[in-house]
Structure 1
Amino acid sequence: MSSGTKVGYQYKGETRTGYVKFMGNSRKGEAKFEFVGTNANGDVTTYHVKRGEDLWKLLNNNKRDKTINPLE
């Protein structure tokens, strides 16, 4: 979390805070990211390694929108 990018995402109708970090590319050339999700109290609730498409769909509701908008 300390070296990841802080982002907002929707989960079950509420906005939550998560952290993403680019890990590199798979053998097929697809982007891979670490993702840490938190609850409303800031407690870690999930950790995943996600493909770029899955991460972008989570963050932007569109797997083709490769934008990661950091929270301050």
Structure 2
Amino acid sequence: MGRIPFPDDLIRAQQDWHAAYRALAVPPPRGATELRRRLLALSVRTHWHPFGSTPDGWSSAARVELRR
């Protein structure tokens, strides 16, 4: 499988998701409630992004590649 051309805003949302997740992993996290809300909002943004309905974006492989 070749490299998938993800939209920049989707890549940035996924990077922000990873950053929020890492911030929650630090014991005890500061602003945990805000971080959880941010993580949830970013999860919704990446899951329902319009790219997911395109031929390149609907596959499980595309979702795995985005997380990398």
Q: Same fold (TM over 0.5)?
A: no
Bigger strand fraction: 1
TM-score normalised by length of structure 2: 0.28
TM-score normalised by length of structure 1: 0.27
